[in-house]
């Protein structure tokens, strides 16, 4: 039997390996993954406070005043890592939702910066909060009138930062069923030649 000291050493070594693995996963979730295949989703963001949907307009304005099915409310959400970090852009305009150093939501044509990355946080009430990756603790938020609220004035428990994901009107999750084409082959008749049976086409 091994000594208690060797058993304790093995246990400590095992715990160290687990800690290093957990740290690696945590660090990788904070780094943009350029190699993995990114997942792209399409949905609307319903604001809990305004009762409308987030939209990105052509004049680079962002608000939560769009009705269900509005073309500017259709959002393309791209995963940034294997975790829950995403980039959100308007499907109609191609502009990304970003946050500047003052906490104001702005629209950019180039969404590669960390200020255009948000972490999706699923809350206990089944709503989703979007925390900016560059300015930790600052969230995407809108007032009751649908106007953007500065991220520096937001907290996770506030209704202004709560959103619900909705599919755009007329958008289906399943692909359309495939159409099959049937080819018309000429009918075959059976003929006997000696002891062998062969298949031959019927005469026209």
- How far apart CA 164 and CA 46 sit, in angstroms, is 5
13-34: average pLDDT: 60
pTM of this structure: 0.68
Give which of 142, 100, 134 is closest to 118, Cα–Cα: 134
Mean per-residue pLDDT over the chain, rounded: 81
Residue 181 scores a pLDDT above 50: no
**What is the pLDDT at residue 80?**
76
CB 24 within 8 A of CB 82: no
CB 187 within 8 A of CB 201: yes
**What is the pLDDT at residue 161?**
98
- At 38-75, the pLDDT tens digits run 689 999 999 999 999 999 999 999 999 999 999 999 99
CB 68 within 8 A of CB 44: yes
- At 69-120, the pLDDT tens digits run 999 999 999 997 666 899 999 999 999 999 999 999 999 999 999 999 999 9
| Domains of the chain, start order | 40-166 (2.80.10.50)
- At 3-12, the pLDDT tens digits run 666 777 777 7
């Amino acid at each position: 039997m091994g000594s208690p000291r060797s058993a304790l050493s093995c246990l400590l070594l095992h715990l160290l390996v687990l800690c290093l693995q957990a740290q690696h996963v945590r660090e990788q979730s904070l780094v943009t993954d350029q190699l993995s295949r990114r997942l792209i989703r399409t949905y609307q963001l319903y604001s809990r406070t305004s009762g409308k949907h987030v939209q990105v307009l052509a004049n680079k304005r962002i608000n939560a005043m769009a009705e269900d099915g509005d073309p500017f409310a259709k959002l393309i959400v791209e995963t940034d890592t294997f975790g829950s970090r995403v980039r959100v852009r308007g499907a109609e305009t191609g502009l990304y939702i970003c946050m500047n150093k003052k906490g104001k939501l702005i629209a950019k044509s180039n969404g590669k910066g960390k200020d255009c990355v948000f972490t999706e946080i699923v809350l206990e009430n089944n709503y989703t909060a979007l925390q900016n990756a560059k300015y930790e603790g600052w969230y995407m938020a809108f007032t009751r009138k649908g106007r953007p609220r500065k991220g520096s004035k937001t907290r996770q428990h506030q209704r202004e930062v709560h959103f619900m994901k909705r599919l755009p009107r007329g958008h289906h999750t399943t692909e359309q069923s495939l159409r099959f084409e049937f080819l018309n082959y000429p009918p075959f008749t059976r003929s006997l030649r000696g002891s062998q049976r062969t298949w031959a086409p019927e005469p026209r």
